[in-house]
Every structure is written in structure tokens, then in C-alpha cells.
Chain A
């Protein structure tokens, strides 16, 4: 289970790519790809295994000018889905 204390990184099979045609980031993994919205791309770019989810949430809340709890909910929901799909992992 992941929490706000978790430090996450992309699974080894997954890689971000900026797509010039749509001006969006894609998360690519074997035989699949996800087109990411702006928040999702900002979150995954920060999942480098060095920072807690909390610190990512705080940075993005400041950057977007939104309340921390709302951003935290959105980010945690997204990251839980990604973890269930094996696309992000906790750094032990």
C-alpha cells in the first residue's frame, strides 16, 4: 500500500515520452501507452524515488494555487491506480 510518506518511482518497464503531436506526455510500457493530463505528467515526472508523495503534493499545490487536501486526494487516487497497474513502485 502506498501512502503520502511513500517514495515512488516509475516501474522499470515504464517510461515517459513527450509527444510532439499532442503536446502531452505519454507513459509507455510494453504494448501499451497512456496519454497523460497535465497533473498526471507533473506527478510522474517527480516520481524519481527521492521524494515523498507529500512533498510532491505540496509543491504542486503551491504551483497550481490549489488547497493541499484537494491536490493530495487527486494525486493519491491517481498514484494508487498506477501502483495497482504495476506502473509505479515504492522504493524500499
Chain B
């Protein structure tokens, strides 16, 4: 590769700590092993080094980023660097005064998640009484003049209530609604039997979202992220490995995606040990699946290889045991049968037991 690509977005995972225990949390199952969090000075350096590389957007996320008491300092520095700053939060540990301070510091957007439109169902998926509080916080967000993104992760238990989620977003004055189907990795893979919808249920939800998008055009952006288990073509995961995104984990690993450190055999460097620019350009972890030379067939000769980059490496590994094979959601993958089997199972709507995110891992 002659020239290394330019990263546009830094995903700053400030912590894996979170008051919620969502059954589809995208943090790794062994998140509790990564509990030595970066200090403020290192995060400030990461922000500067990112901007230097070309990053223009910074997502502060986690875990729950609000549990870091230096969030103010990080927002201030990100805005000094003229980065577009987005806070992705459950909203739970937040006082109004703190939110007002974020506004003064120039935070650009706030994304709040709600698990469902009814308190009981929402709290059940989050494993924590949180729904009523989230609505209060969302109202503050708008009162203080922030743009609001409402995010709901969709799965079998709430897909039939897309209309209600849209109505809630309208009532809250959301500028943007993300109807994001669960991606079946991390805790969501553990809970897949209980969460994966049938195709018919998914199609109804997609139609409801499309109607809302048309009706609200120009007022509220409505996004519907289809679960790749039903697309037959892989998603362009992270817009390609090491191509547009840098994720920095709470303990300082610079990663091509938020789950890359769950892949065995890859080495990822810490921002504590090397400058971010060096890691981005040269580290073996970022090079591993960059470009096309790593691709096996059927990707290597496929017309779509520059569109989907072979799909999701983490999904390939967690479903087949091999990170370097074609994403099994692709209908051309020799492992596609794995996906078809799970879809057939989803038609039967088996009641799986939910495992809440916890510090002991999937068996806990």
C-alpha cells in the first residue's frame, strides 16, 4: 500500500464502566480485564494526535462516558481542535448543571439510548431502572439547545414497536433517530437465541421506519440499520479495516474496531507506548486486514470487495473460528449455512434466557 489512509473519526471509549447491564452490550465479554483506564493527560494527547492524522469527529463513548469526571476537559480540548464532538450516553449519571457546562464547552451532539418505549420493557433489557430518568435527561438536552439523537437498539422484543419509538422521538423533539438492529457480537451473540427476529418481523419494522422517514423528511433524520443476518451481503464494517476509524479502548489500545482485541493472534499497540500516528500507519494489528491482499476467495475476485471490504472480521472469527475468511453473512461465503441455520431457528421464536452484561463474562 503506497499511502496510508486517513482516519476521519476517533471513537474514544473512555471507560467500560456502566450503570446499565444491557443484554446486547457491544463491549467485549472480558471487559473487566481492561480496567486500567487512561489518565486525562493521555486522552488529551490522543485527541491532539488524532486531529493531526486527519480526524474531524470524536465520539465520546464507553461504557458510560459520564462516569469519567474529566469529560469536561476532554470536550474542551476536542473543541479547541475543532473536532465535531458527539457524546454517546445512557444519560443516567447526569446532573443538569453538568449538561449545561457541556453546552458552554461547545459539545456538538448528544445521543441517548432508550431500550424500549415502556418502562418495564426498557428496564428489563437494560437490567437497571433507568427509563423514566432517560426521558428527563432527553428533555434537558433539548431545553439547553443541544441537538438530540435518540438511539434504540432493535431486536425481537421491541421490533413490533417501531411506531411507538418514532412517536417517542417526536415527543422528545429528537433531531435524529437511530433504529439500530442488534449486531450479533459480544453480549448480543451470547443472547442471540433470545434476540434475533424473524424475517417477517424485521420486514414489518423496516416498512414502519420507511414510512416514518418519508413523513418526517427534513424534520427528523430516521435511520434504520438492518441486521446483517438478513441482508445476504456483508456490511462495510467500519468502512473497511484501518481505513476511516480509530477506536481507543479504555486501557489505551488503538484498534480498527471496538471488538478487534477479541481476535486472537493479532497484536495491538497501546497509546501509552507509541504515538498514535505510528500505530495507525505501521502497527501489525492495523495492517492485518487493510486493503485487499489478505482476502480469500470468494472476496478476492468479487466485484463488491471495494464496497464491503469482505465484511466484519470479528463476525467471521466468532462464527467460524477464523478471522480471515469471508463474513458468513455473505451468501457467497462457504460458511453461509451457519447464518441460514440461525435464521431458521429464529422462525421458531425459541425463548432464550437473557444473560446480562457482567464482570465474569458470558457464563456469569
Which residues of A does B touch, CB under 8 Å? 11-13, 15, 17, 19, 21, 26, 28-31, 33, 83-86, 89
Contact = CB atoms under 8 A, between A and B. Distances in A.
Given A13-B147, A21-B54, A33 B175 contact: no
28 contacts: A12-B175, A13-B108, A13-B109, A13-B147, A13-B176, A15-B84, A15-B108, A17-B56, A17-B82, A21-B6, A21-B54, A26-B56, A28-B57, A28-B84, A29-B109, A30-B84, A30-B108, A30-B111, A30-B149, A31-B9, A33-B57, A84-B217, A84-B218, A85-B218, A86-B176, A86-B218, A86-B220, A89-B218
What does DSSP make chain A's interface, helix, strand, loop or mixed? Answer: mixed
Nearest to A83: B218
The 3 A-B pairs of least Cβ separation, nearest first, read A13-B147, A28-B84, A12-B147
What does DSSP make chain B's interface, helix, strand, loop or mixed? Answer: loop
Contacts, number: 56
Interface string B140-179: 0000011101000000000000000000000000011000
A80 to B, nearest CB: 10
Interface of B: 6, 8-9, 54, 56-57, 59, 82, 84, 86, 108-109, 111, 145-147, 149, 175-176, 217-221
A84 B222 CA distance: 12
A83 B216 CA distance: 12
A55 B53 CA distance: 39
Name the residue in A30, A33, A83, A89 with the highest tally of chain B Cβ atoms < 10 Å from its Cβ. A30
A30 B56 contact: no
